[in-house]
């Protein structure tokens, strides 16, 4: 039995299409590198709701806990907009993150040279951009209690959510950020609203503690999250690694991703604690969403999902050379001018389909 087990959860919208291309890459490794993965597939999000009446079944959850890596496509769609909160497609993804304890969400925002023109920012502001955002993913206002909506007894209602962070939750994600920085430009910028929120003060103090006691060699700065949003727009290349909480990370990493102009290119990894095999629990997914408007039309760009698999090779299977191979194939294909519909300029190039792009990447391997 191969010891590389992968659970594929294509999910909704364009998820299944882009995942089909990842399958081709996985098959290539089996055929040409004798690297066989034990791949199984299951449902998440709206697709799981349609089949089981909930966005993630207990069986799928148990299965995700048992494999080495989970690859997820995307969840959500207008069809599920009116579902009860607890049944929404997003709850399936959030349950995976929480129960697998995937506390460190790595979101690289990298600008591909061949695609710098797609950014809404000036080329000189974004060319060569290479930021890593480390977002805390299992705590904060996403999961804090008390939460809910109740009547105020006076004819109105009250909606409540709780931002809650502990010392250990902050320290462990800070360590993930410092570790990454050491392999990059050795700089971490931590973002919060310590001028307004006590949870932000604790965040700043605990990140500083980890820095002082464990990573004094890494350069650490602090920035208020609103200033961070500004600086990402003004001069994003000033950053190396950014570490921030779950909610700020949600907005800031999306803004950072959009700076690159090519959302269809960006992968992400969500990592948990190191398990017995020496590797972290992990889930990999493209940064883009389920894009229901173009689903099923062969227009989706499979690269973000294929690069998410490359991250899996690197972080879950310790196959750095193989990850480089996949990333190199993507670059080669882009350099040859192949573009899916999302990457088309005004020069009249014909777009390739999702599946043609996948085939080209496999051929380039």
Partner from ligand IPM, a copy of itself, none binding residue 255, C-beta < 5-8 Å depending on class:
a copy of itself
- Cβ at position 97, least distance to ligand IPM in Å: 8
Beta-strand pair 69-74/5-11: parallel
Can you tell me which residue has the tokens 């804090």?
144
Of 8, 4, 21, the closest CA to residue 365 belongs to 21
259 binds a copy of itself (CB under 8 A): yes
Q: What DSSP character marks residue 236?
A: G
Contact flag: residue 255 with a copy of itself (CB under 8 A): yes
Segment contacting a copy of itself (CB under 8 A): 66-74, 82-90, 266-274, 338-346?
82-90
159, interface contact from a copy of itself, ligand IPM, none, CB < 5-8 Å by kind: a copy of itself
Query: Among a copy of itself, ligand IPM, none, what does residue 166 contact (CB within 5–8 Å per kind)?
Result: a copy of itself
Residue 277 exposed, middle or buried by CB count within 10 Å (0-12, 13-18, 19+)? exposed
Smaller CB distance to a copy of itself: residue 131 or 326? 131
Region at 190 (left for phi over 0; alpha for psi -120 to 50; beta for the rest): beta
Query: Among the candidate windows 18-26, 65-73, 140-148, 324-332, which touches a copy of itself by CB under 8 A?
Result: 140-148
Contacts 24+ apart (CB under 8 A), 113-117: 114/331, 114/334, 114/335, 115/260, 115/261, 115/262, 115/265, 115/334, 115/343, 116/261, 117/261, 117/345
Check if 193 is active-site: yes
User: Using the rule CB under 6 A, is 307 a contact of ligand IPM?
Assistant: no
347 is catalytic: no
Residue among 40, 162, 167, 195 that touches ligand IPM (CB under 6 A): 195
Closer to ligand IPM by CB, 267 or 358: give it.
267
From the candidates 217, 226, 318, 324, give the one annotated as an active-site residue.
226
Residue of 93, 102, 133, 181 that binds ligand IPM (CB under 6 A):
93
Question: Minimum Å distance from CB 288 to ligand IPM?
Answer: 10
Q: Which of 362, 279, 365, 287 is nearest to 319 (CA)?
A: 279
The structure tokens listed for 106 are 């790595």
In this chain, which stretch among 46-54, 86-94, 299-307, 313-321 interacts with a copy of itself, using CB under 8 A?
A: 86-94
Instruction: Write down the least CB distance from residue 143 to a copy of itself, Å.
Output: 9
Question: Which one of 142, 215, 284, 315 is the catalytic residue?
Answer: 142
Q: Are 59 and 48 in contact (CB under 8 A)?
A: no
Cα separation of 166 and 54, whole Å?
30
The answer to the question of whether 351 is labelled as a binding residue is: no
Stretch that binds a copy of itself, among 62-70, 148-156, 276-284, 330-338 (CB under 8 A): 148-156
Number of residues this chain uses to bind ligand IPM (CB under 6 A) = 7
24 part of the active site: no
Angstrom CA distances, 229 to 53, 223, 242, 249, stand at 38, 10, 12, 10
Of 2, 148, 296, 320, the residue at the interface with a copy of itself (CB under 8 A) is: 148
Distance CA 360, CA 353 (A): 10
Tell me how far CA of residue 142 lies from CA of 14, 148, 247, in angstroms. 25, 12, 7
Question: Is 254 a known active-site residue?
Answer: yes
Q: Is 42 annotated as a binding residue?
A: no
Query: Interface with ligand IPM by CB under 6 A: which range of 46-54, 89-97, 157-165, 342-350?
Result: 89-97
Location of structure tokens 């907009």:
81
The tokens for 98 are: 């929480």
| CA separation for the pair 308, 283 (Å, rounded) | 9
Q: Which residues line the annotated binding site for Mg(2+)? A: 226, 250, 254
Active-site annotation, residues: 142, 193, 226, 250, 254
Residues that bind a copy of itself (CB under 8 A): 76, 85, 88, 90, 94, 120-122, 125, 141-142, 144, 147-149, 152, 156-168, 193, 195-203, 206, 225-227, 229-230, 232-235, 247-248, 250-252, 254-255, 257-259, 263
């Amino acid at each position: 039995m191969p010891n590389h087990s992968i659970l594929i959860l294509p999910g909704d919208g364009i998820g299944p299409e882009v995942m089909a291309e990842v399958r081709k890459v996985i098959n290539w490794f089996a055929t040409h590198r004798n690297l066989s993965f034990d791949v199984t597939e299951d449902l998440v999000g709206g697709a799981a709701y349609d089949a089981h009446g909930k966005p993630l079944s207990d069986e799928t959850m148990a299965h995700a806990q048992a494999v080495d890596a989970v690859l997820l496509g995307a969840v959500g769609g207008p069809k599920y907009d009116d579902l009860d909160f607890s049944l929404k497609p997003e709850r399936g993804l959030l349950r995976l993150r929480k129960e697998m304890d995937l506390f460190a969400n790595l979101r690289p925002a990298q600008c591909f040279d061949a695609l710098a023109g797609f950014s809404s920012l000036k080329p000189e502001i974004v060319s060569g951009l290479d930021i890593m955002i480390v977002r805390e993913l299992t705590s904060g206002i996403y999961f804090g209690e008390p939460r809910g909506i109740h009547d105020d007894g006076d004819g109105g209602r009250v909606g409540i959510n709780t931002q809650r962070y502990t010392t250990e939750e902050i320290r462990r994600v800070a360590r993930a950020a410092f570790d990454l920085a050491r392999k990059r430009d050795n700089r971490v910028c931590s973002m919060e609203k310590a001028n307004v929120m006590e949870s932000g003060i604790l965040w700043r103090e605990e990140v500083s503690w980890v820095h002082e006691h464990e990573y004094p060699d890494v350069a650490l700065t602090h920035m208020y999250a609103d200033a961070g949003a500004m600086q990402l727009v003004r001069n994003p290349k000033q950053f190396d690694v950014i570490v921030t909480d779950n909610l700020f990370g949600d907005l800031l990493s999306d803004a950072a991703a959009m700076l690159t102009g090519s959302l269809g290119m960006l992968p992400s990894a969500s990592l948990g604690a190191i398990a017995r095999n020496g590797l972290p629990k992990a889930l990999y997914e493209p940064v883009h969403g389920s894009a229901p408007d173009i689903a099923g039309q062969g227009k989706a760009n499979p690269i973000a999902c294929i690069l998410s698999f490359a991250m899996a090779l690197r972080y879950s299977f310790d196959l750095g050379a193989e990850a480089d191979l996949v990333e190199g194939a993507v670059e080669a294909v882009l350099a040859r001018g192949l573009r899916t519909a999302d990457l088309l300029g005004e020069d009249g190039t014909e777009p390739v389909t999702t599946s043609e792009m996948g085939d080209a990447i496999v051929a380039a391997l």
